[in-house]
Every structure is written in C-alpha cells, then in structure tokens.
Amino acid sequence: MRVAMVSLFPEMLGLVRDLGVTGRAVRDERLSLTAINPRDYTLDRHRSVDDRPYGGGPGMVMRPEPLAAALEAGREFAGDGATVIYLSPQGQRFDHGRAKELAELPGMVLLAGRYEGVDERLIRSAVDEELSIGDYVLSGGELAALVVIDAVARLLPGVLGHEDSAAEDSFAQGLLDCPHFTRPEQYEGQDVPDVLLSGDHAAIRRWRLKQALGRTWERRPDLLDALEQKRQLTAEEQK
Ligand code: ADE
C-alpha cells in the first residue's frame, strides 16, 4: 500500500516509518510512506500556509491553494484508486471496520490539518472522506493520521507474522482481548491462571474466549449489542 501524509510537520511520519511493525512493513516494501509539506507548494515570498478566518474569530485557517497542490502530489505518490482522507474531529469515527476496508485500497492520501482547520472549499473539492479518531481535539491531524496508518498497515497481507496474526486481535472478532501473562509464574503475590500452564489447548482457547466475553460485557457492553445486531442481520440474510 502507498500512503502520503500531507502535513506541516513531515518529521512526525518517522514514528511509523522507522519503528516497530510499521517500520518493518516499510523495510519489507509492503508499505510505502511519504510526507508532503504544503509549505513547499506555496508561491508567495513568505511561504504562508494559513490566513485569518472570514467572519473573524480566533486562530488561523489553512489556505486551500497550497493544500490542493500538496494533495495532488500525494495522489501522484499514492496512485490511482487512492482515497483522500482529511483527519478532523468532525469526521466519521474511525474503527476496526473502516481500517479493514481501507486496507483493501491500493493507497491513501492523509491530510493532517493544523490551526483551526482547513478551508471548507478544499475539503469539498479535494477530499473523499473525513475521519475522526475520537471525541477530543488534538493540536493537529498528524497523530490521527499515524493512528490510521498503524491500524491499517497491520491488516495488510504479510505485515504481521503468524503468531501475532491480525485475526487474533482485539476487535477482529468484535470483542475485547483476553488477558495475557508471561514469566515469572508468580508476580506480586499473583499466580498465572492454572489453565494457561495446563498444555490443554482446547481448554486454553475456551478460557480465553470466556475472558474476552466477560471483559467485553463488563467494559464495553455496546460491542456485544453490535455483535448481536450483526448476528440478527446475517440470520435475516440467510432466510
Ligand atoms: N484533528 C484534531 N483532532 C482530531 C481527532 N480527534 N481526530 C482526527 N483528527 C483530528
């Protein structure tokens, strides 16, 4: 997959480009990343990327022209069939389902805004979709773009090894993850659950599912409601 991040802070892409699972995906050429700075697409002497908002009020708004040129460069990098996503608190909520759909695409162009946001006309003319990573306001869209890149990259074929396959992930089944334990067998007066030491793989699988269900019920009952609705839908579809 080819991904361009359009941002005034291109250095921030280094966090996913150089480190961890996403860094390995880049080195293995399963993921190609580039950062494009809209400041490089300004034509004026001051290289200005922002201006005062029409109608007044605090803060500045990102000007449409440099962003349009930067997005065009992003589209060139990401290739035909890439989708252009603007990260903002006004967007649709990003979740595992959307990550799976995005992982099917050949490329993405992620627009990270700063200041009060970007000129609305740029969004209407050059953006395919607006995504939010949660109901809080970040100082810029970069961290949200990195979240999307990370969540999508781990779903690309071959990015995760067999032992940490994405199919086992929390949310892949619509449930929270079960608890995990490693050595030592005793820690702070707490034992590792006996079943995990039993070598009985069927019993371990059952225990993990039970834990996942219990935690989901306690912490995120809304996820169980969503699963139930999905089950009813597929039952309907089968009729
Ligand atoms: N930019 C600022 N806050 C954001 C959020 N919550 N999600 C996505 N992009 C953002």
195 burial type by CB count under 10 A (0-12 exposed, 13-18 middle, 19+ buried): middle
Whether 10 has a pLDDT exceeding 60, the answer reads yes
> What's the CA gap between 188 and 177, in Å, rounded?
23
Provide the whole-model pTM: 0.96
Q: What is the pLDDT of residues 151-210, one digit of tens each?
A: 999 999 999 987 567 877 788 889 999 999 999 999 999 999 999 999 999 999 999 999
Mean pLDDT of 77-100: 98
Return the percentage of the chain with pLDDT > 70, whole number. Answer: 99
Answer whether 117's CB lies under 8 Å from 60's CB.
Answer: no
Identify the CATH class of 170-238: mainly alpha
Q: What is the pLDDT of residues 12-32, one digit of tens each?
A: 999 999 999 999 999 999 999
Fold of 2-153: Alpha/beta knot (3.40.1280)
CB of 87 closer than 6 A to ligand 1?
Answer: yes
> In sequence order, which residues have a C-beta less than 8 Å from that of residue 101 and are 6 or more positions away?
none
Give the per-residue pLDDT at 172. 84
Ligand 1 atom nearest the C-alpha of 135 is: 6
- The mean of the pLDDT values for the chain is 96
Instruction: List the chain domain ranges.
Output: 2-153, 170-238
Query: Using CA positions, which residue lies closest to atom 5 of ligand 1?
Result: 89
> What's the CA gap between 143 and 185, in Å, rounded?
37
